Amino acid sequence: MIPVPVPQVTPTEPPKEEKKEEKKDDKPKLPEGPPPVTRPAAVENLAALETQKMRVDDKKQVSFNFQEAPWPFVLDEVARVSGMTLDWNTLPGDSLNLRSSHRANT
Protein backbone atom coordinates (compact mmCIF):
# COMPACT_ATOMS: atom_id res chain seq x y z
CA MET A 1 0.00 0.00 0.00
CA ILE A 2 1.20 3.40 -0.92
CA PRO A 3 0.51 6.19 1.48
CA VAL A 4 -1.51 8.99 -0.07
CA PRO A 5 -0.96 12.40 1.34
CA VAL A 6 -4.12 13.90 2.81
CA PRO A 7 -4.58 17.53 1.96
CA GLN A 8 -4.56 19.78 4.96
CA VAL A 9 -7.75 21.79 5.29
CA THR A 10 -7.30 25.11 6.96
CA PRO A 11 -10.26 27.24 7.82
CA THR A 12 -10.50 30.21 5.56
CA GLU A 13 -11.38 33.60 6.85
CA PRO A 14 -14.26 35.39 5.19
CA PRO A 15 -13.05 38.01 2.77
CA LYS A 16 -12.59 41.33 4.47
CA GLU A 17 -14.63 44.17 3.12
CA GLU A 18 -12.52 47.00 2.02
CA LYS A 19 -13.41 50.24 3.67
CA LYS A 20 -14.52 52.71 1.10
CA GLU A 21 -13.58 56.25 1.66
CA GLU A 22 -16.64 58.40 2.15
CA LYS A 23 -17.04 60.75 -0.71
CA LYS A 24 -17.17 64.32 0.35
CA ASP A 25 -19.63 66.53 -1.41
CA ASP A 26 -17.73 68.47 -3.96
CA LYS A 27 -20.65 70.89 -4.22
CA PRO A 28 -19.88 74.32 -2.86
CA LYS A 29 -22.07 75.39 0.05
CA LEU A 30 -24.61 78.00 -0.86
CA PRO A 31 -24.60 81.11 1.26
CA GLU A 32 -27.36 81.16 3.82
CA GLY A 33 -29.82 84.00 3.59
CA PRO A 34 -30.94 86.19 6.44
CA PRO A 35 -32.97 84.52 9.19
CA PRO A 36 -36.76 84.67 8.86
CA VAL A 37 -38.59 87.54 10.48
CA THR A 38 -40.98 86.41 13.17
CA ARG A 39 -43.69 88.34 14.92
CA PRO A 40 -43.11 88.76 18.66
CA ALA A 41 -45.29 86.79 21.03
CA ALA A 42 -48.70 88.28 21.75
CA VAL A 43 -49.06 90.35 24.86
CA GLU A 44 -52.14 89.54 26.87
CA ASN A 45 -53.64 92.92 27.66
CA LEU A 46 -56.80 91.93 29.49
CA ALA A 47 -58.36 95.40 29.18
CA ALA A 48 -57.96 95.37 25.39
CA LEU A 49 -59.15 91.77 25.13
CA GLU A 50 -62.37 92.59 26.99
CA THR A 51 -63.46 94.75 24.05
CA GLN A 52 -62.67 91.94 21.59
CA LYS A 53 -65.03 89.33 22.97
CA MET A 54 -67.34 87.70 20.44
CA ARG A 55 -70.90 89.03 20.57
CA VAL A 56 -74.08 87.08 19.92
CA ASP A 57 -77.28 89.01 19.22
CA ASP A 58 -80.87 87.91 19.84
CA LYS A 59 -80.99 86.29 16.38
CA LYS A 60 -78.03 84.08 17.37
CA GLN A 61 -75.70 85.85 14.96
CA VAL A 62 -72.05 86.26 15.93
CA SER A 63 -69.77 89.22 15.32
CA PHE A 64 -66.12 89.57 16.30
CA ASN A 65 -63.15 91.88 15.94
CA PHE A 66 -59.87 90.28 16.99
CA GLN A 67 -56.84 92.58 16.86
CA GLU A 68 -53.54 91.16 18.09
CA ALA A 69 -55.57 88.64 20.10
CA PRO A 70 -53.58 85.68 21.48
CA TRP A 71 -54.70 82.30 20.20
CA PRO A 72 -55.78 80.91 23.59
CA PHE A 73 -58.12 83.90 24.00
CA VAL A 74 -59.59 83.42 20.51
CA LEU A 75 -60.22 79.72 21.03
CA ASP A 76 -61.69 80.30 24.49
CA GLU A 77 -64.12 82.75 22.89
CA VAL A 78 -65.10 80.25 20.19
CA ALA A 79 -65.73 77.62 22.87
CA ARG A 80 -67.70 80.09 25.02
CA VAL A 81 -69.96 81.26 22.17
CA SER A 82 -70.53 77.76 20.80
CA GLY A 83 -71.25 76.33 24.24
CA MET A 84 -68.74 73.55 23.65
CA THR A 85 -65.46 72.54 25.21
CA LEU A 86 -62.20 72.83 23.34
CA ASP A 87 -59.25 70.48 23.70
CA TRP A 88 -55.95 71.48 22.11
CA ASN A 89 -52.31 70.45 22.42
CA THR A 90 -50.35 73.24 20.75
CA LEU A 91 -51.17 76.67 19.41
CA PRO A 92 -49.23 79.29 17.47
CA GLY A 93 -47.29 81.63 19.71
CA ASP A 94 -48.33 84.78 17.93
CA SER A 95 -51.66 86.57 17.68
CA LEU A 96 -54.66 86.75 15.37
CA ASN A 97 -56.08 89.70 13.46
CA LEU A 98 -59.54 88.84 12.15
CA ARG A 99 -62.73 90.86 11.82
CA SER A 100 -66.15 89.65 10.80
CA SER A 101 -67.55 91.59 7.86
CA HIS A 102 -71.11 90.54 8.65
CA ARG A 103 -72.84 88.51 11.29
CA ALA A 104 -72.84 84.75 11.01
CA ASN A 105 -75.45 82.37 12.38
CA THR A 106 -74.36 80.11 15.23
Q: Write out the DSSP string of 1-61.
A: ----PPPPP-PPPPPPPPPPPPPPP-SPPPPP-PPPP-PPPPP--HHHHHTT--EE-TT-E
Q: Is the pLDDT of residue 9 over 70?
A: no
Domain count, the chain: 1
Determine the pLDDT at residue 24: 62
Asked if residues 42 and 67 have their Cβ atoms less than 8 Å apart, the reply is: no
In a domain, 12, yes or no: no
Q: Is 66 exposed, middle or buried (0-12, 13-18, 19+ CB in 10 A)?
A: buried
The answer to whether the predicted template modeling score (pTM) of the entire model surpasses 0.75 is no
In a domain, 34, yes or no: no
pLDDT tens per residue across span 47-105: 678 888 888 888 888 888 898 888 888 999 999 999 999 888 888 878 889 888 765 56
| Mean pLDDT (whole number) for 1-28 | 66
In a domain, 14, yes or no: no
In a domain, 11, yes or no: no
58: containing domain: 46-105
| Mean pLDDT (whole number) for 12-19 | 65
